[in-house]
Amino acid sequence: MRIAELFFSVQGEGLLLGVPSAFVRTTGCPLRCVWCDSPYTSWQPEGETISIEAILDRLAVYPTKYVVVTGGEPLVAAGIEELCQSLRQAGYHITIETAAIVYSPVACDLASLSPKLSNSTPHHREGGRYALKHDQQRLRPDVIRAFMSQGDYQLKFVVEHESDIGEILALLDQLPPVRSDRVLLMPQGITSDALRDRGPWIAEWCKRHGFRFCPRLHIELFGNRRGT
């Protein structure tokens, strides 16, 4: 498989926040979010080809049975089904972090679904040449519904503007009833300052709607660095 990085850290986002976890980051993503925090998997994908057996060998040295399969967009990575099946057979708790634009019934214990709002559209990057395609692909309620029916999930939204709440509520209207504490609102930002600027008004939305506030712990602990 084409892998951008393999590392051991603490989960920085979501319901398993703070849990020591191994990360398998695939490379390649059909989207081009303007603020993508791993452009080495989307705008300029890089990585090395590693067999699934070698991935498992490298994970085995980490003292955890929690693994996060992330990207890029892991659901478009060749071999993702086999990887997840092998992780399950090896006894891992598997979180898959996906933008939920492609469905596959992969082995998974927590589907971390992160549908992208219009704040992600790259209107002003590379002359906006990816903007239209991005907008056509970024929201797939049918894919989200499929993951929701498969097992445990969280819906994680990257929030940048105060107007984003309307898009979130409109998408939730297209889904089966979602437990409000499974809806996570996470500030957009790759610096502690940016996260602190947006955090307070996002927290107010969480109080109003019963949603869960989602920090970016790895940014707070380590900054925006690879391998964390």
User: What is the smallest separation between the CB atom of 55 and ligand SF4, expressed in angstroms?
Assistant: 19
H helix or E strand, kind and range, residue 200 = helix 192-209
User: What is the smallest separation between the CB atom of 29 and ligand SF4, expressed in angstroms?
Assistant: 3
User: What is the smallest separation between the CB atom of 71 and ligand SF4, expressed in angstroms?
Assistant: 5
Report the distance separating Cα 132 and Cα 14, nearest Å.
Answer: 29
- Between 116 and 212, name the residue whose CB sits nearer to ligand SF4: 116
**What are the strands, taking DSSP E only, across 11-77?**
20-26, 48-49, 66-70
- Between 25 and 212, name the residue whose CB sits nearer to ligand SF4: 25
User: What is the smallest separation between the CB atom of 144 and ligand SF4, expressed in angstroms?
Assistant: 14
- Between 179 and 226, name the residue whose CB sits nearer to ligand SF4: 226
- Sort strands 110-113 and 93-98 into parallel, antiparallel or unpaired: parallel
Read off the tokens for 206.
């969480």
Residue type, 4: A
User: What is the smallest separation between the CB atom of 60 and ligand SF4, expressed in angstroms?
Assistant: 26
- Between 8 and 35, name the residue whose CB sits nearer to ligand SF4: 35
**CB atoms inside a 10 Å sphere around CB 174:** 11
- Between 47 and 72, name the residue whose CB sits nearer to ligand SF4: 72
Report the distance separating Cα 58 and Cα 221, nearest Å.
Answer: 24
Q: Which residues bind ligand SF4 (CB under 6 A)?
A: 29, 31-33, 36, 38, 41-42, 71-73, 99
**Biggest alpha carbon distance in the chain?**
47
Among residues 77, 80, 163, 152, which one has the least CA distance to residue 119? 163
Residues written for the chain: 228
- Between 56 and 190, name the residue whose CB sits nearer to ligand SF4: 190
Paired residues of 148 in beta bridges: none
User: What is the smallest separation between the CB atom of 199 and ligand SF4, expressed in angstroms?
Assistant: 19
